[in-house]
Structure 1
C-alpha cells in the first residue's frame, strides 16, 4: 500500500509559520519575564552586574562589618546567576568617608553602602553641612537588622528599677548624669530621649569610647550609662553593674527579665539602632528590586538568622519604600530631641 502525502497550500503554510513564530516569541518573553514555567532568575540575573562591593564605614571585626560579610556570602545565591560581592571597609568620621565613597560610585548596582542609623538619619540633624542628602543622593535597597540599647547603673546603686531610678534622679539633681561612649552617639541621644520622656534634667557625660565609660560605671564614678545591650551584658552578668531598662519595643532575648522603658511608664523612650543598605541615586529600579529580593531571602535564611543572633542583631527585611518611610519617620522623631539640646557635631 502506497502512502500519498500532499503538500500544504500556501495559506496553510503561512498559518503554520505564524504559529511557530508566535510560540518562539512566547518562549523568549517567558524567559525574560520569568513566567510560564521559565526561570525568573534569568531575568533577575540580567539586572545585576557580575560583581559588586559593599562599602562599610567602620573597621573589620565590628558588628556592622560582620553583618556585611554574612550578607556578601549569602546574597549571591539568591541573585539567580554567578555573582561576587566583596566588603570594602572605609573607616573614619563615623561612617561619613564610606558615604562619600558611595556618592562618587557609578549608579549601576556595582556599589552599595551598609549604614548605621547615623548615616541616613542623624547626619541630617547633627551636621550643619552633612555633605549629602539621602533623599536625593541615595537609593534605598532594604532594611537589614536592629540592635538594642539599655541603661545601667553601678551594682551598688540604690535604684532597683526604672521608677526608683527616676525618683532618685529627681532627689539628687547634682548627681543626675549618664555616660555615653561619645558625644553625638546613639547612646547620647537615647539619654536625651529618656530625659524628655521622664521630664528630668540629666547631664550627659561624653567619653572617648565605651571601655572607659564602662570602667567608670562599674567603679561608681558616674550614676548611669547607656550603651548597647551587647556591651553592657558581660558586666551585668558579673554583677558589676545593673541594667534597669531597655529602649526596645519588647524585651530582648538577652535580658528577658529586664523591662522596657515603655513597660515602666515611658512609652516615648523607645527606639533602636538599625543597619540598612543603600545604592547610588539613579541605580536602575530593576537592579534595586533584584538586590532587595535577594537580600530579604538571605535575611530569612536560618543560617543567617543564627549568625546574626550571635551578635545580637534582629533581622527585619523590608521593601525599599518601607526603608525610606522609616528614614523619614526617624528624622521626625529625633530632630526635636537633638535640636532642643543644642548639640552640633561640627
Structure 2
C-alpha cells in the first residue's frame, strides 16, 4: 500500500483564490491492477486555467498536469524508471490505467517523455510540454505569421507568452510584448529578444503601439483579454489574425461592471479581423511534433526558458495564488520533494 497526498478544493473560488480554499488530504492507494502502473510526482504544473476548469461539485480534487516517475508497473509499455507526463492533478502518487486515460475526457494527456538529454525533466511541463505546444500550435496554426509582420503578445512574460514571442522572432517577425512590471519588460527585450515591451500598468498602451507599431499590428496572441486586448484590436491591420489563449484579466473579477470592455465589432468588421479561441487539446494527436520542435530549438540556442520553481508539495496553493498577482516570470512549477 502507498500513502498518497493530494489537494482538494473545499469551495468554489470567489475572487482571488485563498489558501483556506485548499486542503491537503491523504489516501491509501490499492495494489496495482492488471495494466496499471504507480506514478510518483516529481513536478506539478500550476496554470491559470486550473481556476476555471474545476467541476461543479465541492470538495473536489485539484486538476493539473505533472511529470512523474514510474515506481511500480504491471504494464510493459510503462516500465519502472520511465518518465511520463500525465494529467493526474495535484497529488504525490497515482495508480494509472493507461486505457482509462485514453477514454476519459477529463484526462486526455498521458505519454512517455522523449530523451531530454542534459536538459531538466521539468521542461516537460513547460516549454517542452503542453505550455510549449500551446504557444507553438496556437501561434503558428491560428495566427499564421509571415516574416516581417508585427506581432503583439499580452501576458508576454508568462510561460506561454514568453515562448510565443521567441517563436515569432525565429519566424522573422517584429515582436511587442505587454507585461506587468518594468523588470519583466526588461527581461523580454534584453534576454528574449523582443523588439519592445511595455508595462501595461504604467503605460498608455494606445500611444505605445502607435509609436512602436506605426504600420499597425498583424498578429495578436491574447493571453489576458479585457481592455488591453480592445486597445490592440483597435490598431490591427486589415485581415489581422488573433489567437485567443486566455483571459486572465477577468478570472478573479467579481464586479460585473469591470468585466465590460470596449465594443469590438466595429474594429473586427472594418478591419476584417479573424479571432479564434483554442485549447491545446485540439492538437493532442500532434503532441510529439510540438515537443520535439521546441526541444530542437532549445538545443540550437534559439529558445530560452525560465522556470519559477516552488519547493515542496505544501507550497502549491500559495504559488498558485501568486499566478494571479503576477509573481512569476516564465513557467510556474512545484518541485514535489
- Report the structure, 1 or 2, having the larger helix content: 1
Per chain length, whose mean CA-contact separation is higher, i.e. which structure has more relative contact order (CA < 8 Å, sep 6+)? Answer: 1
What is the TM-score normalised by the length of structure 1?
0.34
What is the TM-score normalised by the length of structure 2?
0.34
